[in-house]
Amino acid sequence: MAVKPMNSKEVAQKVMNKENLFILDVRNVDAFEDWKIEGEKFEYLNIPYFDLLDGVEEIMNQLPEEKDILVVCAKEGSSIMVADMLSEEGKDVSYLEGGMKAWSEHLEPVKVGDLSNGGELYQFVRLGKGCLSYMVVSGGEAAIVDATRMANVFIDFAKEKFATITNVFDTHLHADHISGGRTIAEATGATYWLPPKDAEEVIFEYAALEDGNTVVIGNTTIEISALYSPGHTIGSTSFVVDKKYLLSGDILFVDSIGRPDLAGKAENWVGDLRESLYKRYKDLSMELTVLPAHFMIIDELNEDGSVGEKLGTLFAKNHGLNIESEEEFRMLVSENLPPQPNAYQEIRETNMGKVTPDEEKQREMEIGPNRCAVR
């Protein structure tokens, strides 16, 4: 039987549609346990490639008969070889085109909703990394919030919508992934906005994103209003879009809250985090839909593949928003931190403009799961 490639877009559709898929992951055990392709109805078998060099006969009885089988490795090569061996044994299998590197970079656009006077809001779901980016489209103009480094995806999408990118925002200086904001702004002539309190060490020009900034997109009344909300970083800024949506950056997630330690200042910033969540956000409309910059687990995806929830629902259900004691909150935040993201210091320096790694190095720096939340 012929071995077929399956690209990241096809895998993403299976995730979004909650389809069945059996994944044979041939990476080393530690790599698999740290980070894998997640799907609500996916099943997994992890057998390192080196254990299969002498043949696949011993694992044939562990593979299903009636489900699609996808062989996955880091870069593609090993999965092709294993898929070929399985094919010779009579199995109908596919391999992941480009491997986990390609999966890490795939962005899946999802329409979140309509805005005033014909505007639209899109969420770009980076399933392999847990990153979420946004595009507001209105009156032939577009604004992007928290873009990932795959700049062409956003530029091409705006062209499809016949929109000119006029403004690009980062809610904070990211530490877990390389921002595409500056690249997009340079390519399109858009204004690049960054909170000045996060930008003290950056070495490029930017527009100061500060509390109360209002940027109108298109010739409509769609406003992006900045709300200072420190805690994840000292400059973290949220956005209220069209009085309907709260883009919370890395301060508040659907299932958790942001971590305050990625600049080495956890003790100083825990108080800021609590004040942003328990005071600033508490004063907002509970009807706002919270749209974060990350998600942690695949269960956070809604039926349409988007990630978001009403602020009122989060105040009722998110444990991080329901801790009365400030001391208990401090303990939760300081004692439940996951490992630091891979190469986070290098990523911060890249986002400051201090270093410019080549594309392959940038891929390596970002490999692995999102780790921006308190567990």
Catalytic residue numbers, as ranges = 73
Q: Are 19 and 6 in contact (CB under 8 A)?
A: no
How far apart are the C-alpha atoms of 157 and 296, rounded to whole Å? 25
Residue 236 identity:
S
How far apart are the C-alpha atoms of 375 and 371, rounded to whole Å? 9
How far apart are the C-alpha atoms of 251 and 165, rounded to whole Å? 26
Q: Identify the residue whose tokens are 């002498």.
A: 54
Classify residue 341 as exposed, middle or buried by CB count within 10 Å of its CB (0-12, 13-18, 19+).
buried
Helix (H, G, I), strand (E, B) or coil at 192: strand
Q: How far is CA 186 from CA 180, 182, 205, 344, 356, in A?
A: 10, 6, 11, 24, 15
Residue 208 identity:
A
Beta bridge pairs of residue 207: 193
Residues making up the chain, counted from first to last: 375
Helix (H, G, I), strand (E, B) or coil at 337: coil
- End-to-end Cα, the chain, rounded Å: 45
Residues 171, 172, 176: CA angle, nearest 5 degrees: 115
Q: Are 21 and 42 in contact (CB under 8 A)?
A: yes
How far apart are the C-alpha atoms of 375 and 350, rounded to whole Å? 26
